[in-house]
Amino acid sequence: MDLLSLLGIILAFAALLGGNFLEGGTLATLVNGPAGLIVVGGTVAATVLQTSWPLLWRAIKRIRWIFYPPVNALEDGIDKVIGWSTRSRKQGLLGLEGLAESEPERFARKGLQLLVDGSEPGTIRSILEVDTDSREQSDLEVAGVYESMGGYAPTIGIIGAVMGLIQVMTNLAEPETLGSGIATAFVATIYGVALANLLFFPIANKLKAIARYRTRYEELIIDGIIAIADGENPRSIELRLRGFLS
């Protein structure tokens, strides 16, 4: 579990609530059902309107990546490739057939199978790069969903505030209620800005970072497999791949 993500969320909302408390406010001043309905409901509705169902479903499922990112350490990838290279030097490319069948990673398994089948290095790179580009584009599209939500939330928060002020203006005959009414109206703005900057935009950026890291890992695997296909020795391959760590 990525504890930094959890810590970030806790600190963000602790700072918001703590600042409100230090200003003399209470939790009750920030709790407003209608404002929450307008901001959350409006943001979700706008996102649903612009997003296809398959992409929306992927975005819902990928939210768990914030706490459980599906990434492999680059160091582990280097060790894996060096192991393949060492076996290939001893047993030939056919010696990798058993490893290809037992490899748990789909991407690495596909690369190994192409290698065992005797595909040309250029063909291997072309096939695997298509997979990488397609996967990265899919990941970035998911991040874009949350980025859009971050864009909609503040604007809808302003709409909620204006709606609240309209209600206040209809009760000008009761001046004693104006102060609390105006304060309540602006809660919607707080909801919109807070959700955008403390939740939606950070989630989008986190998913983008995960997508970039996955791409870097797969590029490492591609370079390693191509180097094995070209007959490079394990030491040279290791030195080459360690450049991905810088």
pLDDT at 180: 60
pLDDT at 221: 93
CA 205/CA 198 separation, integer angstroms:
12
pLDDT at 176: 64
pLDDT, mean of each 10-residue run, the chain (246 residues): 81 83 76 86 94 94 89 87 88 82 88 88 92 94 95 92 79 64 78 93 94 93 91 87 84
Answer whether 242's CB lies under 8 Å from 78's CB: yes
CA-angle at 214, arms to 217 and 70, nearest 5°: 115
CA 15/CA 24 separation, integer angstroms:
14
- Please give the single-letter amino acid code of residue 240: R
Please report, for residues 150, 161, 201, the alpha-carbon distance to residue 143 in angstroms, rounded to integers and kept in the order given. Answer: 11, 28, 9
pLDDT at 177: 59
CA 99/CA 118 separation, integer angstroms:
15
pLDDT at 172: 67
CA 135/CA 137 separation, integer angstroms:
5
DSSP per-residue codes, 159-184: HHHHHHHHHHHTTTT-GGGHHHHHHH
What b/e readout covers 57-70, taking b as 16+ CB neighbours within 10 angstroms? ebbeebeebbeebe
